[in-house]
Homo-oligomer: A and B are copies of this chain.
Amino acid sequence: MATIVDVARLAGVSVSTVSHVVNGTRPVRPETRERVRAAVASVGYSTDGMARALRRAQTECIGLVVTDTGQPGFAEMIRGVEGEATTAGLTLLLADSAEDLERQLSSISALVERRVDGLLLAQVSGTPHSLLESLIARGVRVVLIDRLSTPDFDQVGVETVEPMQTLVRHLIDRGHTRIAMIAGDNAIPTLRERREGYLEAMEEGPDAGARQATIVEVASPAEARAAVHELLAAPEPPTALVAASQVIAVGTMQALSDLKLRIPDDIAVVVFDDFPHADLFRPRLTSVVQPNVALGREAVRLLVRRIKHPKAPARTIRLKAEIAHRDSCGCPPGALIQSPNPREDVR
């Protein structure tokens, strides 16, 4: 592979001139510039990013660590990250922690050794606060994505409490009183907040006493499936189910299918986090749809700001979520969900 000295020799100029025409970093006589260009083309020279990174002490790369590359939500997020990174001239290094603390650790190490200019991290459940602190202390620029922490870190996530409240209130408005939530790992901030939203909606207002809140915590689709079976075997089973995530919804729907229960005729179901092509297949699930692509985009924007301004105060960004009102809640087509605040686009 040709180096800069090969080009310099061939063009009959110094390496510094070559460097300057390649980078457009100082005026060069048009004639010599062309000579250099020709030499570059003829030897097929392309500048060595490693050497440049070493010299400039910056790689123009950012790292992204997610817990599961394959999940549709993360996949969209990755697309957002990739797009904005490319726009900003950054290359994306991707790692999958598989929701495993050890792997997350080694993924981060690998990226740090690669000297990424910054790191986007969707933490695994149970990530110690100290990990983030030590990273920052070592000078690594980090922004948390989706899985948030305390506000002393840069982070961008999606609003959860409010949309979940809206969803549950909607069920209440439709006359449901026994609404059960199939919740997820409480150690994951997003999931904990969704549970809070549910509880707040269930416990507010004058007729809160008439309602019966039930929460079961599950860690997998299989557990969700079992939990729903148990829930529905109770003497006074819930008439509506709230699934805390897509993964949980899968188990929930399996159980409902086992029981030959029809949605929404026999039971209402709503979900936090939308399925791809949810409009096309039935049951058409009413759900909270998260702006995954925007999430990725905003996260790299924040990271870029952080890289530019290392001393700026930490920022937390919450993106608005929308609600896709379909028919699994039992509404006739055309009905509306009343939302406390109108949607506001993030650009």
Contacts and interface: CB of A to CB of B under 8 A. Distances in A.
Interface stretch (A25-33, A88-96, A182-190, A210-218): A88-96
Contacts of A49: 113-115
Interface in A40-62: 44, 46-51, 53-54, 59, 61
Interface string A107-140: 1011111110000000000000000000000110
Nearest to A71: B75
B75 A72 contact: yes
Contacts of A86: 95-96, 103, 107
Contact of A96 (B70, B82, B103): B82
A1 B138 contact: yes
B280 A48 contact: no
A179 interface: no
A76 interface: yes
A316 interface: no
Contacts of A51: 54
* Number of copies of this kind of chain in the complex: 2
A47 B138 contact: no
Nearest to A77: B70
B93 A92 contact: yes
A138 B2 CA distance: 9
Nearest to A282: B282
Interface string A74-105: 11101100110010000111111000000100
A91 B69 CA distance: 14
A250 interface: yes
A68 interface: yes
Interface string A233-252: 00000000000000000100
30 contacts: A1-B139, A46-B113, A47-B113, A48-B54, A48-B113, A48-B115, A49-B115, A50-B53, A50-B115, A51-B54, A61-B114, A69-B78, A69-B82, A70-B75, A70-B293, A72-B75, A74-B75, A78-B78, A82-B94, A82-B96, A86-B103, A91-B95, A91-B110, A91-B111, A91-B114, A92-B94, A92-B95, A275-B281, A276-B276, A282-B282
Interface of A: 1, 44, 46-51, 53-54, 59, 61, 68-72, 74-76, 78-79, 82-83, 86, 91-96, 103, 107, 109-115, 138-139, 250, 253-254, 257, 275-277, 280-283, 293
Please give me the 10 A-B residue pairs with the lowest Cβ-Cβ distance, nearest first: A281-B281, A75-B75, A70-B79, A69-B79, A49-B114, A50-B53, A50-B54, A94-B94, A49-B113, A82-B96
